[in-house]
Amino acid sequence: MQGNGLTFEELNDGFVVAINIEARPGEEDAVGAILAGLVAPTMAEPGVKLFRPYRSPKNPGHFFLIELYRDETAWGAHQETEHFKTAIAELVPRASRRERVPFVPYTSA
């Protein structure tokens, strides 16, 4: 078993979104708090397998998120939640860059 009670195979099957965020100068801690506040409500969504933000130890204004959903529909459902909409409204003005890249598995584990 791995994190969230899922096996390695289950964690490697689904719809992945990799997100890079750069905070505007002076907004680093606010962006970090917004992302931290998304973890619990996002992990409570039925189609979410993993939602994990990371922060660069060398540049505290750089953040990376890995999101793993059951499928692309679950990712779409996440974007319709109130916690997501509220967080994005707070985050976007504080970020100088936000890049989201979806991925799907193409080989077996």
Task: Give residue-wise pLDDT tens across range 45-77.
Answer: 999 999 999 999 999 999 999 999 999 999 999
Of 34, 18, 21, nearest in space to 101 by CA:
18
Phi, psi of 72 (to 5 degrees): -65, -30
Q: How far apart are CA 84 and CA 41, in angstroms?
A: 9
pLDDT at 4: 59
**How is residue 38 written in tokens?**
């998304």
Query: The pTM is what?
Result: 0.87
Q: Domain extents for the chain?
A: 6-103
- CATH second-level architecture of 6-103? 2-Layer Sandwich (3.30)
pLDDT in tens, 14-36: 899 999 999 999 999 999 999 99
Phi, psi of 80 (to 5 degrees): -95, -5
CB 109 within 8 A of CB 8: yes
Q: How far apart are CA 62 and CA 92, in angstroms?
A: 14
